């Protein structure tokens, strides 16, 4: 084995999952050995790690580790590892390709609820020609985006361009042109009260875990034009209480839901969410990380670090995102 610095890549549980990433990194970082978890690389040679849902403990005992890169925008999968070395900086993906994909998904599903896509699919299956003369204009539909970060701001801005009446909610106060901004626990109720379609793009942290529950759904607007509030979650499954979503859909607290993320993934075949007529399920693919784009980003970050520049897109480990 060489004595060169190494990048350790850990994706899921098998080497096969890591394969496309290994090739992408090796092509961009010829001065490093690019190793998969389990490859024979001396721990002290590992300077960098790039990980997505790695086995907990796999990044411990690497004395030369300078930075850990998430292969996605979220870092909850890394920070949940109690053995993640405490002093090592963690960076996440901020990539225009990923951001654009997420906004496409959000627009698709907000427009689908607004223009009653499920209803017309059902009618077509029944060969039934029936119109709804009371469809509201986009400007009469209030969309609330939870999380005004990289993804939330892009989605909110594009929803505004379509014509929706858009608000956003974040931890600290934000000023986004054209968007009514609310912040913190003190701003949450007012934000929910004016929301017909709730779009969730929050990270999973100890503060946000489980917050999409019955109490929150009960605070959404009851006077909207869609026959009841709609939930759209592409943040993380750990944000939501699925039993409360199902109860809310059945008792009318919620009119419909589109979910890309789940308490347990893959969503179990037995989950009633698959079959509920008011639920749309997508398989955690609202915004996939493209190995080429993300390898470009991370390779650029490593080269910049080696030039002595600060790590870009580092997360605040005390804040958990
Ligand atoms: P950012 O870190 O850029 O933004 C996070 C936003 O959430 C910020 O506005 C932040 O507030 C807000 N926030 C965090 N904690 C709280 C809180 N306790 N109360 C209120 N607001 C809070 O993240 P991104 O926009 O890049 O990504 C968001 C999440 O989307 C990721 O963490 C990931 O979980 C998910 N994701 C899902 C994908 C999918 O395919 N389903 C793909 C990519 C990402 P503030 O502005 O004050 O910091
Ligand atoms: C991400 C994701 O965080 O794909 O990037 O969920």
Atom of ligand 1 nearest to the CA of 173: 47
**What is the rounded average pLDDT of the residues 296-303?**
97
Atom of ligand 2 nearest to the CA of 287: 4
Tokens of 152: 């939330």
Q: In this structure, are residues 192 and 144 in contact, taking their beta carbons and an 8 Å threshold?
A: yes
Pocket of ligand 1 (CB under 6 A): 72-74, 102, 147-152, 170-172, 174, 201-205, 207-208, 234-236, 260-261, 284, 286-287, 321
pTM of the model: 0.97
Query: What's the CA dihedral at 56, 62, 68, 70 to 10 degrees?
Result: -30
Mean pLDDT (the chain) is: 96
**What is the rounded average pLDDT of the residues 260-269?**
98
Please give the span between the terminal C-alpha atoms of the chain, in angstroms, as a whole number. 37
Rounded Cα distance, 144 and 104, in Å: 16
pLDDT at 172: 98
Please list the residues that pair with 49 across neighbouring strands. Answer: 8, 68
**Does the beta carbon of 145 lie inside 6 Å of ligand 2?**
no
**Does the beta carbon of 150 lie inside 6 Å of ligand 2?**
no
Burial group, residue 249, by CB count within 10 angstroms (0-12, 13-18, 19+): buried
**Does the beta carbon of 237 lie inside 6 Å of ligand 2?**
no
pLDDT at 272: 98
pLDDT at 132: 84
Residue 134 has pLDDT above 90, yes or no: no
**Does the beta carbon of 203 lie inside 6 Å of ligand 2?**
no
Ligand 1 centroid vs 101 CA: distance in angstroms? 15
**What is the rounded average pLDDT of the residues 7-36?**
93
**What is the rounded average pLDDT of the residues 251-274?**
98
pLDDT at 1: 53
Residue 54 has pLDDT above 60, yes or no: yes
Residue 139 has pLDDT above 60, yes or no: yes
Question: CB under 8 Å to 20, separation ≥6 — which residues?
Answer: 291
**Does the beta carbon of 147 lie inside 6 Å of ligand 2?**
no
Give SS3 for 91.
strand
Residues designated catalytic: 236, 284
Q: In this structure, are residues 81 and 265 in contact, taking their beta carbons and an 8 Å threshold?
A: no
**What is the rounded average pLDDT of the residues 207-225?**
98
Distance of CA 163 to the CA centre of its chain: 24
* Among protein residues, the one whose CA lies closest to atom 2 of ligand 2: 72
pLDDT band at 163 (very low <50, low <70, confident <90, very high): very high
Rounded Cα distance, 179 and 221, in Å: 18
Q: List, in order of start, the domains of the chain with CATH numbers.
A: 6-95+289-306 (3.40.50.720), 98-281 (3.40.50.720)
Percentage of the chain modeled with pLDDT above 70: 100
pLDDT at 72: 96
Tokens of 275: 């079959």
Tokens of 292: 């080429």
Ligand 1 centroid vs 201 CA: distance in angstroms? 5
Ligand 1 centroid vs 39 CA: distance in angstroms? 34
Question: CB under 8 Å to 318, separation ≥6 — which residues?
Answer: none
> Which tens digit of pLDDT belongs to each residue from 71-80?
999 999 999 9
**Does the beta carbon of 74 lie inside 6 Å of ligand 2?**
yes
Pairing of strands 6-11, 90-91: unpaired
């Amino acid at each position: 084995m060489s004595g060169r610095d190494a990048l350790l890549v850990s994706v899921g549980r098998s080497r096969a999952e890591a394969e496309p990433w290994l090739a992408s990194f090796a092509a961009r970082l010829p001065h490093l050995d690019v190793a998969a978890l389990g490859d024979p690389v001396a721990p002290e040679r590992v300077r960098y790690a790039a990980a997505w849902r790695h086995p907990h403990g796999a990044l411990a005992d690497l004395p030369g580790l300078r930075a850990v890169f998430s292969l996605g925008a979220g870092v909850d999968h890394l920070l949940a590892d109690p053995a993640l070395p405490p002093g090592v900086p963690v960076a996440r993906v901020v990539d225009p390709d990923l951001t654009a994909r997420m906004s496409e998904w959000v627009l698709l599903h907000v427009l689908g609820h607004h223009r009653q896509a499920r209803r017309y699919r059902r009618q077509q299956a029944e060969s039934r020609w029936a119109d709804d003369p009371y469809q509201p204009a986009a400007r009469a539909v209030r969309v609330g985006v939870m999380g005004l970060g990289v993804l939330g701001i892009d989605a909110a801005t594009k929803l505004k361009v379509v014509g929706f009446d858009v608000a956003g909610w974040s931890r600290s106060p934000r000023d986004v042109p054209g968007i009514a901004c609310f912040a913190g626990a003190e701003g949450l109720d007012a934000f929910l009260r004016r929301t017909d379609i709730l779009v969730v793009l929050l990270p999973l942290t100890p503060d946000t875990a489980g917050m999409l529950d019955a109490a929150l759904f009960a605070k959404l607007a009851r006077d909207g034009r869609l026959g009841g509030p709609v939930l759209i979650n592409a943040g993380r499954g750990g944000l939501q209480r699925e039993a409360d979503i199902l109860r809310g859909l059945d008792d009318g607290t919620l009119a419909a839901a589109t979910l890309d993320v789940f308490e347990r993934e893959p969503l179990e075949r037995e989950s009633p969410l698959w079959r509920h007529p008011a639920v749309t399920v997508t398989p955690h693919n609202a915004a996939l990380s493209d190995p080429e784009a993300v390898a470009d980003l991370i390779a650029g970050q490593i080269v910049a670090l080696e030039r002595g520049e600060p790590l870009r897109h580092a997360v605040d480990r005390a804040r958990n995102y």
